Amino acid sequence: MALTLKSGFTFDYDNLFGEGKVTQADLDSYKEDLAKAHEAMKVMRDSGIIKAHLSKDGTPEKVYFSKLPYITADNGKLNLNSPASIQRLHKFTEHLRNNIDAVVSLGIGGSFLGNKVLFDIFCGEFWNTKTKEERGGLPKIYFSGQNIDTRRTRDLINHLKAMAAVTESHENRKYKVCLICISKSGGTLDTMSNFMVMCDELKKCANIEVEIVAVTDPNMEKKTILKQLAVDNGWEQFAVPDGVGGRFSVFCEVGLVTAAAIGMDIELFLGGARDMDEACKNENLFENPAMLNAALKFAAYKKHGRNMEVMMPYGDYLKSLSEWYIQLLAESLGKQFDKDGKEVCYGRTPLVAVGTTDMHSQTQQHQEGMLDKVVQFIKVAKWADDYVIPNAFPSAKKLADISGVTMSEALEVARQSNADALSSNKRFNACFVLPELNEYHLGELMYLLAMSVAYEGELANVDAFNQPGVEAYKRIMGPKLQELKKSKGL
Ligand code: PA5
C-alpha cells in the first residue's frame, strides 16, 4: 500500500498498516479526531490560529509555517516569503559569489539543523575542498554555534587564518569572511558565544575582512540584542518572522539564506513544499500524506506501544535530515501537559539512524529489541552518477557476486532486505520515496514532516508549536553563569 503523488513522491506504508499492524479499525476509532485535526489545519492555514497555542511569554501567537511555501506580496507583509524577499535572496547569492571567500553560518537548533540539511544534500562533504570554479564561484561554507566547543571553534578560526595567509601570499589581497549569525531570540548562549569569539579573533587579523549578516526577529519595537547590534552597526539583515518557530524555519529566510549561499534553487524547494501543502489539503485520509503519516504513527503509538521513531534515510548526505527531524518531532510532540492542562507526558522518542551504516550497529536492536519502534526509511529512487560495482578481482568469487549492479541498486537491496526482515518479526516500518534528490522533492519531504507533526499535535491534543521544556535548564543556566562570573571576580 502506498500513496503516490503526481510528482512521484511516495509514502509506502505497507509495513505499517494491515493485519498485525495498525488496522483500519484503529484508524476508524480516530475518525472524529482526524476530522477535527484536519479542520484545525484549515484554520491554521487561513488565520494562523492554533487552538491554545501560546508563545514563550504566555500570550497567544499565530502559526505561519504553512504560509511559507507561498511566495506572495501579502505574505511579505508578515516577513514571510514574497517576490521581493526572494529577489533579495538572489541578490545575496550574487553578492556572496562576487565578494566572499568563506561563509560561517552560526546558529543552533532550528537556526542550524535545516541549514545543515540543505548544505549536506546539495554541497556534500567535499564542497570546501573544491576550487572556486567547481563551486560555481560560490564561497566555502562552514557552520559554527551549534555547540560551545572551544577546540572546534579554535580549529575553525585557525583554518580561516590559514586560508587568509594563502590568499594574501598568492593573490596579495584580504580573505573575505561573511559571518551569518542566525538567532531568533538574538541572544542564545551557544550561537552568540561563538559569534563573539569569531568576530574578535578574525577582526584582529590584518589579512581578513569580516562582513556580518544578522538573521533575527525583525521586530523594531522590542529589538533582540542581535537586531540592535545589526541596526547600530549597519549589518545586512534577514528575518526570522513572527509565528515561525525554529524547527519550521527552513522554509523562511533562516534556511533560505543558506540556500542562497550555496546557489540552491529556492523557488523549486518552496514549490515542492507548496505542492505538498496542496496534497495535505485533501480531506481523504488515504490521499493526504501528512494526515496519513500522523494517523498511522499516532495509532502505532497509542494502540501498539510503538513510542519511538527511528528516522533512517539511506545515504550519507541524508543523515542531517534525520537530525533535523529529531528536533522537529522531539520539540513539537514531547509535552508533559495537553492543551487542557492535563498531565499526559506525550511524545514518541525520535532516534537518528542512517542506512546502510546503522544496519551494522542499531539494526540488531530494531530487529530483536523491544517492540516499541517504527522505523521510518527514506529512499532516493534514482541517484545521479551511479557507479556500477566492477568485477575488480575476478578470482574472489564472493566479490564477483556483488559486481555488475550499481551502488544505488545495492543500497536499495540492503534497505529492502532490512524492511523485509523487520516486517517478518512484527517490526513496524514505512518508507518515503523521493524520485530523486533535488530541491523539489526535498521541499516536499520536509514540508510533509512539518505538517505531519502539526496533525499529530492535534490528535494528541498537545501544542506542537511551543517548547516550554527547554526553558527549565535555561532558568538554571543564566544564574549559574552569573555565579561563575562573580566567583572569577568579573
Ligand atoms: O526550535 C527552536 O525554537 C530552538 O531549537 C531554537 O531554534 C534554538 O534554541 C535556537 O534559538 P535562537 O534561534 O533563538 O537562537
Type of residue numbered 429? N
Q: How far is CA 103 from CA 74, 262, 288, in A?
A: 31, 10, 39
Ligand 1 neighbourhood includes 114 CB (under 6 angstroms): no
- Long-range contacts of range 296-300, CB-CB < 8 Å, 24 or more positions apart? 296/13, 296/16, 296/17, 296/22, 296/27, 296/430, 297/348, 297/374, 297/452, 297/456, 298/30, 298/456, 298/459, 298/460, 299/22, 299/26, 299/27, 299/30, 300/16, 300/21, 300/22, 300/374, 300/428
Q: Are strands 308-313 and 349-352 parallel, antiparallel or unpaired?
A: parallel
Q: How much is the pLDDT for 56?
A: 84
User: pLDDT band at residue 58, thresholds of 50, 70 and 90?
Assistant: confident
User: pLDDT band at residue 57, thresholds of 50, 70 and 90?
Assistant: confident
Q: What's the 183 CA to ligand 1 centre distance in angstroms?
A: 7
Select from 210, 198, 213, 203 the least CA-distant residue to 111: 213
Q: How much is the pLDDT for 470?
A: 87
Ligand 1 neighbourhood includes 331 CB (under 6 angstroms): yes
Q: Check whether 356 has a pLDDT greater than 90.
A: yes
**In the numeric block, which cell numbers belong to residue 432?**
518515503
Taking only the tens place, the pLDDT of each residue in 13-48 is 999 999 999 999 999 999 999 999 999 999 999 999
Ligand 1 neighbourhood includes 106 CB (under 6 angstroms): no
User: Using CA atoms, how far apart are residues 170 and 265, in angstroms rounded to an integer?
Assistant: 33
CA atoms in the 13 A half-sphere facing the CB of 315: 26
Ligand 1 neighbourhood includes 429 CB (under 6 angstroms): no
State the average pLDDT over residues 103-109: 98
Average pLDDT for the chain: 97
Residue 312's DSSP bridge partners are: 377
Catalytic residue at 331?
A: yes
The phi, psi pair for 351, rounded to 5°, reads -130, 140
Residue nearest to atom 3 of ligand 1 (CA): 246
Residue nearest to atom 8 of ligand 1 (CA): 109
Question: How far is C-alpha 32 from the chain's CA centre?
Answer: 31
The phi, psi pair for 160, rounded to 5°, reads -65, -40
Q: How much is the pLDDT for 471?
A: 85
What number of H helices and E strands is found in the chain? 17, 13
Residue nearest to atom 9 of ligand 1 (CA): 109
The phi, psi pair for 182, rounded to 5°, reads -115, 115
Taking only the tens place, the pLDDT of each residue in 444-466 is 999 999 999 999 999 999 999 99
- Lowest-confidence segment of 144-158, 350-364, 399-413, 468-482 by average pLDDT: 468-482
Q: How much is the pLDDT for 255?
A: 98
Ligand 1 neighbourhood includes 457 CB (under 6 angstroms): no
User: Using CA atoms, how far apart are residues 387 and 398, in angstroms rounded to an integer?
Assistant: 19
Q: What's the 127 CA to ligand 1 centre distance in angstroms?
A: 26
